[in-house]
Structure 1
Amino acid sequence: MSVRLIVRTFSELCITVGALIILFVVYVLFWTGVKAAGATEGQIDGLQDRWARGAVSAPAPAVSPSPSTDAPASTASAPPTPVAYPEGKAFAMLYIPRLGKGWQWPILENTEVRTLQKGLGHYRGTASLGATGNFAVAGHRRTYGDPFKDFPRLRPGDAVIVTDGATWFTYRIDKKPYRTVPSDTGVIDPVPRKSGFDGPGRYLTLTTCDPEWGSSHRLIAWAHLDATQPVTDGRPAAFHS
Protein backbone atom coordinates (compact mmCIF):
# COMPACT_ATOMS: atom_id res chain seq x y z
CA MET A 1 0.00 0.00 0.00
CA SER A 2 1.48 3.37 -1.01
CA VAL A 3 2.01 6.19 1.45
CA ARG A 4 -0.42 8.35 -0.57
CA LEU A 5 -3.20 5.78 -0.14
CA ILE A 6 -2.54 5.48 3.57
CA VAL A 7 -2.68 9.26 4.02
CA ARG A 8 -5.87 9.53 1.95
CA THR A 9 -7.54 6.72 3.88
CA PHE A 10 -6.55 8.26 7.20
CA SER A 11 -7.81 11.69 6.08
CA GLU A 12 -11.15 10.28 5.00
CA LEU A 13 -11.46 8.46 8.32
CA CYS A 14 -10.76 11.68 10.23
CA ILE A 15 -13.36 13.55 8.17
CA THR A 16 -15.95 10.85 8.85
CA VAL A 17 -15.23 10.81 12.59
CA GLY A 18 -15.32 14.61 12.70
CA ALA A 19 -18.68 14.67 10.93
CA LEU A 20 -20.09 12.15 13.39
CA ILE A 21 -18.86 14.21 16.32
CA ILE A 22 -20.44 17.35 14.89
CA LEU A 23 -23.73 15.52 14.36
CA PHE A 24 -23.66 14.23 17.93
CA VAL A 25 -22.96 17.70 19.33
CA VAL A 26 -25.83 19.15 17.26
CA TYR A 27 -28.12 16.41 18.56
CA VAL A 28 -27.15 17.00 22.20
CA LEU A 29 -27.12 20.80 22.11
CA PHE A 30 -29.92 21.50 19.67
CA TRP A 31 -32.16 18.59 18.76
CA THR A 32 -32.83 17.36 22.31
CA GLY A 33 -33.89 20.92 23.15
CA VAL A 34 -36.26 21.02 20.17
CA LYS A 35 -37.77 17.67 21.19
CA ALA A 36 -38.10 18.80 24.81
CA ALA A 37 -39.80 22.07 23.84
CA GLY A 38 -42.46 20.24 21.85
CA ALA A 39 -42.98 17.56 24.50
CA THR A 40 -43.09 20.10 27.33
CA GLU A 41 -45.60 22.31 25.53
CA GLY A 42 -47.77 19.25 24.99
CA GLN A 43 -47.69 18.41 28.69
CA ILE A 44 -48.50 22.00 29.68
CA ASP A 45 -51.37 22.20 27.17
CA GLY A 46 -52.74 18.92 28.51
CA LEU A 47 -52.57 20.17 32.09
CA GLN A 48 -54.28 23.45 31.29
CA ASP A 49 -57.01 21.61 29.42
CA ARG A 50 -57.65 19.28 32.37
CA TRP A 51 -57.63 22.16 34.83
CA ALA A 52 -60.03 24.12 32.66
CA ARG A 53 -62.38 21.15 32.97
CA GLY A 54 -61.93 21.13 36.75
CA ALA A 55 -59.73 18.03 36.98
CA VAL A 56 -57.10 18.23 39.75
CA SER A 57 -54.74 15.35 40.59
CA ALA A 58 -54.82 15.59 44.38
CA PRO A 59 -56.62 17.37 47.25
CA ALA A 60 -54.83 20.45 48.57
CA PRO A 61 -53.95 20.32 52.29
CA ALA A 62 -54.06 23.71 53.99
CA VAL A 63 -51.01 25.10 55.79
CA SER A 64 -50.36 28.36 57.59
CA PRO A 65 -47.31 30.36 56.55
CA SER A 66 -44.12 29.51 58.47
CA PRO A 67 -42.75 32.49 60.41
CA SER A 68 -39.32 32.13 58.76
CA THR A 69 -37.15 29.84 56.66
CA ASP A 70 -35.64 28.58 59.94
CA ALA A 71 -38.99 27.23 61.10
CA PRO A 72 -40.38 24.66 58.67
CA ALA A 73 -44.08 23.86 58.66
CA SER A 74 -44.30 20.52 60.47
CA THR A 75 -46.59 17.96 62.01
CA ALA A 76 -46.05 15.13 64.48
CA SER A 77 -48.11 12.63 62.51
CA ALA A 78 -46.58 10.00 60.22
CA PRO A 79 -46.42 10.80 56.50
CA PRO A 80 -49.65 9.80 54.73
CA THR A 81 -49.70 7.37 51.83
CA PRO A 82 -48.72 9.34 48.69
CA VAL A 83 -51.38 10.05 46.08
CA ALA A 84 -51.07 7.74 43.07
CA TYR A 85 -50.40 10.23 40.30
CA PRO A 86 -50.88 8.92 36.72
CA GLU A 87 -47.68 7.26 35.52
CA GLY A 88 -45.66 9.34 33.08
CA LYS A 89 -48.26 12.10 33.03
CA ALA A 90 -48.03 15.74 34.12
CA PHE A 91 -49.96 16.66 37.27
CA ALA A 92 -48.43 19.99 38.38
CA MET A 93 -46.40 23.00 37.27
CA LEU A 94 -43.24 24.20 39.01
CA TYR A 95 -41.82 27.74 38.95
CA ILE A 96 -38.53 29.09 40.36
CA PRO A 97 -38.37 32.89 39.99
CA ARG A 98 -34.63 32.87 40.79
CA LEU A 99 -34.00 30.95 37.55
CA GLY A 100 -35.83 33.42 35.32
CA LYS A 101 -39.13 35.20 34.85
CA GLY A 102 -40.32 32.67 32.27
CA TRP A 103 -38.90 29.59 34.00
CA GLN A 104 -41.71 27.04 34.26
CA TRP A 105 -41.78 23.25 33.88
CA PRO A 106 -44.41 20.55 34.18
CA ILE A 107 -43.93 17.81 36.79
CA LEU A 108 -44.66 14.28 35.60
CA GLU A 109 -44.95 11.10 37.65
CA ASN A 110 -41.75 8.97 37.83
CA THR A 111 -38.14 9.70 36.93
CA GLU A 112 -37.69 7.35 33.97
CA VAL A 113 -35.56 8.50 31.03
CA ARG A 114 -38.46 9.08 28.65
CA THR A 115 -40.37 10.97 31.35
CA LEU A 116 -37.52 13.40 32.02
CA GLN A 117 -37.42 14.16 28.31
CA LYS A 118 -40.82 15.87 28.71
CA GLY A 119 -40.26 17.84 31.90
CA LEU A 120 -39.39 17.30 35.56
CA GLY A 121 -40.05 13.98 37.27
CA HIS A 122 -41.63 13.26 40.66
CA TYR A 123 -39.84 10.45 42.50
CA ARG A 124 -42.39 7.64 42.67
CA GLY A 125 -43.29 6.84 46.29
CA THR A 126 -42.25 10.20 47.77
CA ALA A 127 -44.82 12.50 49.35
CA SER A 128 -47.72 14.05 47.47
CA LEU A 129 -47.63 17.75 46.70
CA GLY A 130 -48.09 19.77 49.89
CA ALA A 131 -48.40 16.70 52.12
CA THR A 132 -46.34 15.71 55.15
CA GLY A 133 -43.15 14.04 53.99
CA ASN A 134 -40.80 14.85 51.12
CA PHE A 135 -42.14 15.82 47.68
CA ALA A 136 -39.04 15.00 45.61
CA VAL A 137 -38.44 16.11 42.00
CA ALA A 138 -35.64 15.42 39.49
CA GLY A 139 -34.65 17.26 36.32
CA HIS A 140 -31.93 17.35 33.69
CA ARG A 141 -29.04 19.75 34.23
CA ARG A 142 -28.26 19.75 30.52
CA THR A 143 -30.03 18.44 27.38
CA TYR A 144 -33.78 18.21 26.89
CA GLY A 145 -34.30 21.89 27.54
CA ASP A 146 -31.65 22.31 30.29
CA PRO A 147 -34.25 22.83 33.04
CA PHE A 148 -31.73 22.86 35.91
CA LYS A 149 -28.77 24.44 34.08
CA ASP A 150 -28.61 27.24 36.67
CA PHE A 151 -29.28 25.01 39.69
CA PRO A 152 -26.14 26.26 41.56
CA ARG A 153 -27.67 29.76 41.64
CA LEU A 154 -30.31 28.65 44.19
CA ARG A 155 -29.96 30.35 47.56
CA PRO A 156 -31.64 30.12 51.01
CA GLY A 157 -35.00 31.87 50.99
CA ASP A 158 -35.61 31.39 47.25
CA ALA A 159 -39.20 30.50 46.39
CA VAL A 160 -40.10 27.25 44.65
CA ILE A 161 -43.75 27.55 43.64
CA VAL A 162 -45.87 24.60 42.57
CA THR A 163 -49.51 24.39 41.53
CA ASP A 164 -51.84 21.46 40.92
CA GLY A 165 -54.43 23.70 39.25
CA ALA A 166 -56.40 24.34 42.43
CA THR A 167 -53.79 25.47 44.96
CA TRP A 168 -50.50 27.35 44.93
CA PHE A 169 -47.82 25.78 47.17
CA THR A 170 -44.91 28.06 48.04
CA TYR A 171 -41.79 26.29 49.31
CA ARG A 172 -38.65 28.10 50.51
CA ILE A 173 -35.10 26.86 49.93
CA ASP A 174 -33.28 26.28 53.23
CA LYS A 175 -29.62 26.10 52.19
CA LYS A 176 -27.33 26.30 49.18
CA PRO A 177 -27.27 23.20 46.93
CA TYR A 178 -25.62 20.13 48.45
CA ARG A 179 -23.36 17.86 46.38
CA THR A 180 -23.50 14.10 46.81
CA VAL A 181 -23.31 10.82 44.85
CA PRO A 182 -26.15 9.01 43.01
CA SER A 183 -26.24 6.18 45.58
CA ASP A 184 -27.10 8.62 48.37
CA THR A 185 -30.86 7.95 48.28
CA GLY A 186 -31.35 9.29 51.80
CA VAL A 187 -31.60 12.78 50.33
CA ILE A 188 -35.21 11.99 49.32
CA ASP A 189 -36.24 10.31 52.60
CA PRO A 190 -39.39 11.69 54.30
CA VAL A 191 -37.00 13.63 56.54
CA PRO A 192 -34.08 13.97 54.11
CA ARG A 193 -30.62 13.17 55.48
CA LYS A 194 -28.08 16.01 55.59
CA SER A 195 -30.90 18.53 55.04
CA GLY A 196 -30.79 19.97 58.54
CA PHE A 197 -34.47 19.13 59.09
CA ASP A 198 -34.83 17.39 62.46
CA GLY A 199 -38.35 16.00 62.29
CA PRO A 200 -41.45 15.41 60.16
CA GLY A 201 -42.54 18.31 57.98
CA ARG A 202 -43.78 19.26 54.54
CA TYR A 203 -40.62 19.27 52.47
CA LEU A 204 -39.55 19.51 48.85
CA THR A 205 -36.33 18.13 47.35
CA LEU A 206 -34.93 19.07 43.94
CA THR A 207 -32.18 16.92 42.37
CA THR A 208 -30.06 17.20 39.24
CA CYS A 209 -26.76 15.94 37.82
CA ASP A 210 -23.31 17.35 38.52
CA PRO A 211 -20.98 18.31 36.87
CA GLU A 212 -22.90 20.26 34.27
CA TRP A 213 -22.20 17.80 31.43
CA GLY A 214 -21.69 14.71 33.59
CA SER A 215 -23.54 12.48 36.02
CA SER A 216 -20.94 11.30 38.53
CA HIS A 217 -22.58 13.35 41.29
CA ARG A 218 -25.87 14.97 42.21
CA LEU A 219 -26.81 18.47 43.34
CA ILE A 220 -29.59 18.63 45.91
CA ALA A 221 -31.74 21.54 47.10
CA TRP A 222 -34.11 21.20 50.04
CA ALA A 223 -37.07 23.40 50.86
CA HIS A 224 -39.95 23.53 53.34
CA LEU A 225 -43.57 24.43 52.68
CA ASP A 226 -44.04 28.06 53.62
CA ALA A 227 -47.58 28.87 52.48
CA THR A 228 -50.53 27.85 50.33
CA GLN A 229 -53.35 29.72 48.68
CA PRO A 230 -56.16 28.93 46.22
CA VAL A 231 -55.45 29.69 42.58
CA THR A 232 -58.62 31.78 42.60
CA ASP A 233 -56.72 34.30 44.77
CA GLY A 234 -54.25 34.94 41.96
CA ARG A 235 -50.52 34.31 41.86
CA PRO A 236 -48.60 34.26 45.17
CA ALA A 237 -46.52 37.29 46.12
CA ALA A 238 -43.50 34.92 46.05
CA PHE A 239 -43.41 35.32 42.27
CA HIS A 240 -42.20 38.86 42.82
CA SER A 241 -39.98 38.36 45.87
Structure 2
Amino acid sequence: MAEEARHTVLVADDEDEIREVLRLYLQNAGYHVVEAADGGEALRQLREGPIDICLLDIMMPEADGYEVLRRLRAERPTPVVLISAKGQDAEKVLGLDLGADDYLVKPFNPLEAVARVNSLMRRVYNMDARPLPSSGGMVGAATPLPVSPRLVVRDLELDVDACRLTRAGKAVELTPVEYRIMELMMSHPGRVFTKQQIYEAGWEESYLAADNNVMVCISKLRGKLSDDPGAYISTVRGLGYRLEG
Protein backbone atom coordinates (compact mmCIF):
# COMPACT_ATOMS: atom_id res chain seq x y z
CA MET A 1 0.00 0.00 0.00
CA ALA A 2 1.40 3.42 -0.93
CA GLU A 3 2.34 5.70 1.93
CA GLU A 4 -0.25 8.43 2.53
CA ALA A 5 0.92 11.86 1.38
CA ARG A 6 1.81 14.15 4.26
CA HIS A 7 1.60 17.92 4.32
CA THR A 8 4.93 19.73 4.38
CA VAL A 9 5.95 22.32 6.97
CA LEU A 10 8.96 24.59 6.49
CA VAL A 11 10.68 25.42 9.77
CA ALA A 12 13.05 28.36 9.30
CA ASP A 13 15.07 29.38 12.35
CA ASP A 14 18.77 30.01 12.92
CA GLU A 15 18.69 28.19 16.28
CA ASP A 16 19.45 24.50 15.78
CA GLU A 17 17.69 23.43 18.99
CA ILE A 18 14.44 25.14 18.05
CA ARG A 19 14.43 23.58 14.59
CA GLU A 20 15.14 20.14 16.06
CA VAL A 21 12.38 20.38 18.68
CA LEU A 22 9.83 21.64 16.15
CA ARG A 23 10.83 18.97 13.67
CA LEU A 24 10.35 16.20 16.24
CA TYR A 25 6.97 17.45 17.41
CA LEU A 26 5.66 18.15 13.90
CA GLN A 27 6.83 14.79 12.59
CA ASN A 28 5.13 13.14 15.55
CA ALA A 29 1.94 14.96 14.51
CA GLY A 30 2.22 13.46 11.02
CA TYR A 31 3.84 16.29 9.06
CA HIS A 32 6.77 16.16 6.68
CA VAL A 33 9.30 18.80 7.80
CA VAL A 34 11.94 20.67 5.84
CA GLU A 35 14.34 23.05 7.58
CA ALA A 36 16.21 26.26 6.88
CA ALA A 37 18.84 27.91 9.09
CA ASP A 38 18.66 31.31 7.38
CA GLY A 39 16.39 33.38 5.18
CA GLY A 40 18.20 32.52 1.98
CA GLU A 41 17.74 28.81 2.54
CA ALA A 42 14.10 29.41 3.45
CA LEU A 43 13.53 31.14 0.12
CA ARG A 44 15.25 28.29 -1.71
CA GLN A 45 13.06 25.72 0.04
CA LEU A 46 9.97 27.72 -0.89
CA ARG A 47 11.03 27.88 -4.52
CA GLU A 48 11.71 24.15 -4.66
CA GLY A 49 8.52 23.31 -2.70
CA PRO A 50 5.83 22.27 -2.38
CA ILE A 51 5.39 23.84 1.08
CA ASP A 52 1.97 23.81 2.73
CA ILE A 53 2.75 26.04 5.73
CA CYS A 54 5.75 27.99 7.07
CA LEU A 55 7.12 28.68 10.53
CA LEU A 56 9.45 31.67 10.07
CA ASP A 57 11.75 33.11 12.69
CA ILE A 58 12.02 36.89 12.32
CA MET A 59 15.67 37.28 13.31
CA MET A 60 17.57 35.19 10.75
CA PRO A 61 20.79 35.89 8.84
CA GLU A 62 20.91 36.54 5.08
CA ALA A 63 17.21 37.50 4.93
CA ASP A 64 15.04 38.00 8.00
CA GLY A 65 11.56 36.56 8.42
CA TYR A 66 9.90 39.79 7.33
CA GLU A 67 11.81 39.77 4.02
CA VAL A 68 11.00 36.10 3.41
CA LEU A 69 7.34 36.84 4.14
CA ARG A 70 7.32 39.82 1.75
CA ARG A 71 8.75 37.77 -1.09
CA LEU A 72 6.42 34.85 -0.38
CA ARG A 73 3.32 37.06 -0.32
CA ALA A 74 4.29 38.53 -3.69
CA GLU A 75 3.87 35.07 -5.19
CA ARG A 76 1.36 33.00 -3.22
CA PRO A 77 -0.78 32.84 -0.05
CA THR A 78 1.02 29.99 1.76
CA PRO A 79 0.04 30.17 5.47
CA VAL A 80 2.78 31.64 7.69
CA VAL A 81 3.38 31.64 11.43
CA LEU A 82 6.03 34.16 12.48
CA ILE A 83 8.28 33.28 15.42
CA SER A 84 10.02 35.97 17.44
CA ALA A 85 11.59 36.65 20.82
CA LYS A 86 9.88 40.05 20.67
CA GLY A 87 6.30 40.09 21.86
CA GLN A 88 5.57 43.80 21.53
CA ASP A 89 2.37 44.79 19.75
CA ALA A 90 4.34 46.78 17.14
CA GLU A 91 6.23 43.64 16.11
CA LYS A 92 3.01 41.65 15.84
CA VAL A 93 1.23 44.38 13.89
CA LEU A 94 4.12 44.63 11.41
CA GLY A 95 4.17 40.87 10.87
CA LEU A 96 0.41 40.66 10.44
CA ASP A 97 0.40 43.69 8.13
CA LEU A 98 2.92 41.91 5.92
CA GLY A 99 0.55 38.96 5.62
CA ALA A 100 1.41 36.58 8.47
CA ASP A 101 -1.49 34.41 9.65
CA ASP A 102 -0.29 33.90 13.22
CA TYR A 103 2.50 34.90 15.62
CA LEU A 104 4.41 32.87 18.22
CA VAL A 105 6.54 34.50 20.92
CA LYS A 106 9.65 32.73 22.22
CA PRO A 107 9.88 30.84 24.47
CA PHE A 108 6.85 28.80 23.45
CA ASN A 109 5.51 25.34 24.14
CA PRO A 110 6.16 23.17 21.05
CA LEU A 111 2.74 21.61 21.56
CA GLU A 112 1.24 25.08 21.08
CA ALA A 113 3.21 25.45 17.85
CA VAL A 114 1.80 22.15 16.58
CA ALA A 115 -1.71 23.19 17.63
CA ARG A 116 -1.39 26.43 15.70
CA VAL A 117 -0.13 24.59 12.62
CA ASN A 118 -3.03 22.14 12.88
CA SER A 119 -5.51 25.00 13.23
CA LEU A 120 -4.10 26.88 10.25
CA MET A 121 -4.16 23.77 8.09
CA ARG A 122 -7.81 23.16 8.97
CA ARG A 123 -9.12 26.64 8.49
CA VAL A 124 -7.04 27.88 5.55
CA TYR A 125 -7.39 24.89 3.28
CA ASN A 126 -10.94 24.08 4.31
CA MET A 127 -11.95 27.70 3.83
CA ASP A 128 -11.08 28.26 0.19
CA ALA A 129 -10.75 24.68 -1.09
CA ARG A 130 -7.34 25.30 -2.66
CA PRO A 131 -5.61 22.12 -3.79
CA LEU A 132 -2.82 21.14 -1.46
CA PRO A 133 0.39 20.63 -3.44
CA SER A 134 1.13 17.34 -1.73
CA SER A 135 -2.35 15.87 -2.08
CA GLY A 136 -3.36 16.73 -5.62
CA GLY A 137 -7.00 16.95 -4.56
CA MET A 138 -9.47 19.49 -3.36
CA VAL A 139 -9.59 19.95 0.38
CA GLY A 140 -12.79 20.97 2.06
CA ALA A 141 -15.05 19.93 -0.81
CA ALA A 142 -17.55 18.53 1.68
CA THR A 143 -17.84 21.83 3.57
CA PRO A 144 -21.45 23.11 3.28
CA LEU A 145 -21.80 26.14 1.01
CA PRO A 146 -22.94 29.40 2.59
CA VAL A 147 -26.59 30.33 2.16
CA SER A 148 -25.69 33.49 0.26
CA PRO A 149 -22.70 33.53 -2.13
CA ARG A 150 -22.45 37.33 -1.79
CA LEU A 151 -22.72 39.60 1.24
CA VAL A 152 -23.22 43.32 0.65
CA VAL A 153 -22.95 46.03 3.30
CA ARG A 154 -22.81 49.61 2.00
CA ASP A 155 -20.04 49.64 -0.61
CA LEU A 156 -18.47 46.43 0.73
CA GLU A 157 -19.15 43.21 -1.18
CA LEU A 158 -17.93 39.81 -0.04
CA ASP A 159 -17.92 37.04 -2.64
CA VAL A 160 -18.15 33.96 -0.41
CA ASP A 161 -17.51 31.50 -3.22
CA ALA A 162 -14.28 33.24 -4.28
CA CYS A 163 -13.36 34.44 -0.75
CA ARG A 164 -12.89 37.94 -2.15
CA LEU A 165 -13.75 41.29 -0.58
CA THR A 166 -14.18 44.46 -2.61
CA ARG A 167 -14.82 48.04 -1.50
CA ALA A 168 -16.46 50.25 -4.11
CA GLY A 169 -15.38 47.69 -6.70
CA LYS A 170 -11.73 47.62 -5.63
CA ALA A 171 -10.22 44.44 -4.16
CA VAL A 172 -9.27 44.41 -0.48
CA GLU A 173 -6.56 41.87 0.30
CA LEU A 174 -7.39 39.81 3.39
CA THR A 175 -5.63 37.13 5.38
CA PRO A 176 -7.67 34.00 6.16
CA VAL A 177 -8.36 35.26 9.70
CA GLU A 178 -9.49 38.66 8.41
CA TYR A 179 -11.70 37.00 5.81
CA ARG A 180 -13.55 34.96 8.44
CA ILE A 181 -14.04 38.01 10.64
CA MET A 182 -15.46 40.02 7.75
CA GLU A 183 -17.75 37.15 6.80
CA LEU A 184 -19.03 37.03 10.39
CA MET A 185 -19.63 40.78 10.60
CA MET A 186 -21.07 41.20 7.11
CA SER A 187 -23.51 38.37 7.80
CA HIS A 188 -24.87 40.43 10.71
CA PRO A 189 -24.29 44.17 10.07
CA GLY A 190 -25.04 46.33 13.08
CA ARG A 191 -24.70 43.46 15.53
CA VAL A 192 -22.17 43.78 18.35
CA PHE A 193 -19.68 40.92 18.59
CA THR A 194 -17.55 40.30 21.66
CA LYS A 195 -13.82 39.69 21.44
CA GLN A 196 -14.48 36.03 22.24
CA GLN A 197 -16.96 35.66 19.38
CA ILE A 198 -14.61 37.38 16.94
CA TYR A 199 -11.62 35.32 18.06
CA GLU A 200 -13.42 32.01 17.83
CA ALA A 201 -14.80 32.87 14.37
CA GLY A 202 -11.51 34.22 13.04
CA TRP A 203 -9.02 31.83 14.55
CA GLU A 204 -11.40 28.87 14.87
CA GLU A 205 -10.06 28.12 18.35
CA SER A 206 -11.46 28.40 21.85
CA TYR A 207 -10.92 31.79 23.47
CA LEU A 208 -9.06 30.81 26.62
CA ALA A 209 -7.58 34.11 27.78
CA ALA A 210 -7.69 37.78 26.90
CA ASP A 211 -4.96 38.89 24.51
CA ASN A 212 -4.35 41.54 21.88
CA ASN A 213 -4.92 39.39 18.78
CA VAL A 214 -8.46 40.62 18.18
CA MET A 215 -7.56 44.26 18.79
CA VAL A 216 -4.59 44.04 16.42
CA CYS A 217 -6.62 42.29 13.72
CA ILE A 218 -9.51 44.78 13.94
CA SER A 219 -7.00 47.63 13.69
CA LYS A 220 -5.54 46.09 10.53
CA LEU A 221 -8.99 45.59 9.02
CA ARG A 222 -9.94 49.20 9.71
CA GLY A 223 -6.79 50.36 7.94
CA LYS A 224 -7.55 48.21 4.92
CA LEU A 225 -11.15 49.40 4.67
CA SER A 226 -10.67 53.14 5.13
CA ASP A 227 -8.35 55.90 6.26
CA ASP A 228 -11.01 56.70 8.87
CA PRO A 229 -10.62 54.00 11.59
CA GLY A 230 -14.30 54.10 12.57
CA ALA A 231 -15.80 54.36 9.10
CA TYR A 232 -16.84 50.70 8.94
CA ILE A 233 -15.99 48.92 12.20
CA SER A 234 -16.86 50.74 15.40
CA THR A 235 -15.91 49.97 18.99
CA VAL A 236 -18.70 49.50 21.51
CA ARG A 237 -16.98 50.16 24.81
CA GLY A 238 -17.15 47.30 27.25
CA LEU A 239 -18.86 45.03 24.73
CA GLY A 240 -16.90 44.56 21.51
CA TYR A 241 -17.09 45.61 17.85
CA ARG A 242 -19.71 45.98 15.16
CA LEU A 243 -19.80 46.57 11.41
CA GLU A 244 -21.86 49.67 10.71
CA GLY A 245 -24.57 48.69 8.27
Fold similarity call, TM over 0.5 = no
- Hey, which of these two has a bigger chunk of strand by percent? 1
- Hey, which of these two has a bigger chunk of helix by percent? 2
Whichever of the two has the greater Rg, that structure is: 1
- For this structure pair, what is the TM-score category when the shorter chain's length is used for normalisation? under 0.3
Normalising by structure 2, we get a TM-score of 0.27
Normalising by structure 1, we get a TM-score of 0.27
